[in-house]
A and B are shown apart, each in its own frame.
Chain A
Amino acid sequence: MQNKQNHKHIDKVLQEKFSNFEDLPPAFVLDEVLNAVNHQKSKSKKLIFWWAAAILLFSGGVFWLFSLNYNQSNVLTLTQIDQKTNKFNNQSSVHVDDKSSESNNFVSSINSNLAGKQEKIPSNENKKTNEKTTQAPKVNHNKKQEKPKLFERGSALFGPITSIDSFKTLFEPNALEILVALQATNLPTQLASDPLIADFSEVDLIEVDDNQIFPINSIVKEWSQKAVEHLNSQLPTNFLIKRSIHSDSTQDHNRFRLAFGDYAISGTRNNKN
């Protein structure tokens, strides 16, 4: 029965018989494998997507908070100015929210108006201010990229409300200079022809005695109120002037500030002089 010559070691027999042994697996195995593998892939893709979304959302939130703080910085700065210079009897500062394109258009119109009206004398404290050159002040279109420069008009210093350091120079503007500043805001003709404005333009604020400061203040306040109301009625809703004028008087000095848009003028007079 058994031919001894055909005998092989069992290991060798097993190797030979099973080296290429194959059997068909059940059909469902392939589906199960593909489902498992591709489900895991899509799961990890989903995970990546949600992480990316969360990061994006977080970044957006941080950016929004940052820009919110940035927009509020003008107001805060004015508050700082108020605190430094104060005992003001009226809070005054202007905050202009210029985020919208409408407001940008408005600012552009101010700028083009300024280009026609404003005269500029280069900032130089040693140089007296009667020398005038024509150059419009730059309205701050790109607050984040470029810090607006100070400019002088007569003895008045015009500058962006950015920090107390950029606006610390004391000066003594007269009514005309104030009016120029007001006109620089592109006030409409109607407002410019208002008798209050005319009266106001006649008044030399600097010469006002301490005892007479109140009527002046009331005029200023009244004008301010009108100006704010008018301007706000003309402006897009998100371009709101919240406060526009600030003046005070103590025994030592008179001080006022008008603020509009991104610019302000301010003045101080030492009464003891």
Chain B
Amino acid sequence: MKSETQIVNGCLAAEKWAQEALYKQFAPFLFGVAKRYTPDSDLAADILQESFIKIFKSLSSFNGGSLQAWLKRILVNTALDHIKKHNTLSMAIEISDANAHEFESLVTFDDTHFDAKHLLMLMDALPTGYRTILNMYAIDGFSHAEIANQLGISEGTSKSQLARARFALLRLLNKSEKSYSYAK
């Protein structure tokens, strides 16, 4: 089994085995990330493909640190480009920070009955703007400033969208949990 460094060096030398190894090691994770950003599996595959091409082209600029985080950042940027290009990012009306804070107190729930696939299915039901900001902030660790910069919106919009997204997801979760209870 080759180490990560050996694989990276192999990719830099355009070795096919290394390219395959890098892909096989990280593609499932990155495809999972891509699927969080788009409910369309074909589009997720396109995003993954485009990301890997970028990765192999720009691997020489990788300065160490977490390779997975670096790869994920490339994929997320590619996904955002696709979302912006397809103009699917519709933002709801901005709400005030105070209102957003009100929402905050409501967004806790019991996750015992939910696995990732179930959650993903619910997230797919969210509007693109909600899903995107929820992904960026809650899961991928972007700040509101970064989100605003990436998506070309204000920080306030980012915050309000996040609050609405959480609330919307929570409603879906509650509905889903009830269905689960009834089924049980």
Interface string of A57-88 (1 = CB under 8 A from B): 00000000000000000000000000000000
What residues of chain B lie closer than 8 Å to A15, measured between beta carbons? 138-139
Contacts of A23 in B (CB 8 A): 28, 31-32, 35
Give the distance to chain B from A39, nearest Cβ to Cβ, in Å: 10
Report the number of A-B residue pairs with Cβ-Cβ less than 8 Å.
111
Report Cα–Cα, A230/B152, bound state, in Å. 92
Q: Is the CB of B114 within 8 A of A17?
A: yes
Contact in complex: A30, B20 (CB < 8 Å) = yes
**Contact between B114 and A9, CB atoms less than 8 A apart:** no
Q: Could you tell me if B120 and A21 are in contact, using CB atoms closer than 8 angstroms? A: yes
What's the dominant secondary structure at chain A's contact region? helix
A256 to B169, CA, bound (A): 110
Q: Which residues of B contact A19 (CB under 8 A)?
A: 139
Chain A's closest residue to B181 (CB) is A1
Residues of chain A contacted by B114 (CB below 8 angstroms):
13, 17
Q: A1-B181, A8-B108 are in contact. Are A33 and B138 (CB under 8 A)?
A: no
Q: Mark A8-30, 1 if CB is under 8 A from B, else 0.
A: 11110111111111111110011
- State which size class the interface on A falls in: 20 to 34
- CA–CA, A181 to B169, complex, Å? 109
Residue B76 CB within 8 A of the other chain: no
Q: Tell me if A37 and B19 are in contact (CB < 8 A).
A: yes
Residues on the B chain within 8 Å of A11, using CB: 107, 137-139, 166
**Pick the contact of B56 from A8, A17, A20, A33 — CB < 8 Å?**
A33
Convert B18-42 into 0s and 1s, putting 1 for each residue whose CB lies closer than 8 angstroms to a CB of A.
0110011001110111011000000
In the complex with contacts A13-B114, A15-B139, A17-B119, A7-B109 CB distance below 8 A: yes
Given contacts A1-B181, A20-B29, list 8 more A-B pairs with CB under 8 A. Answer: A1-B177, A6-B111, A11-B139, A13-B111, A13-B119, A24-B28, A33-B56, A37-B57
**Residues of B that sit less than 8 Å from A by CB:** 14, 16, 19-20, 23-24, 27-29, 31-33, 35-36, 44-45, 48-49, 52-53, 56-57, 107-112, 114-116, 119-120, 134, 137-139, 166, 169-170, 173, 177, 181
**Cβ contacts A to B, 16 pairs, < 8 Å:** A1-B181, A2-B110, A3-B110, A8-B108, A11-B137, A11-B138, A11-B166, A13-B119, A15-B139, A20-B29, A22-B28, A22-B29, A23-B31, A33-B56, A37-B14, A38-B16
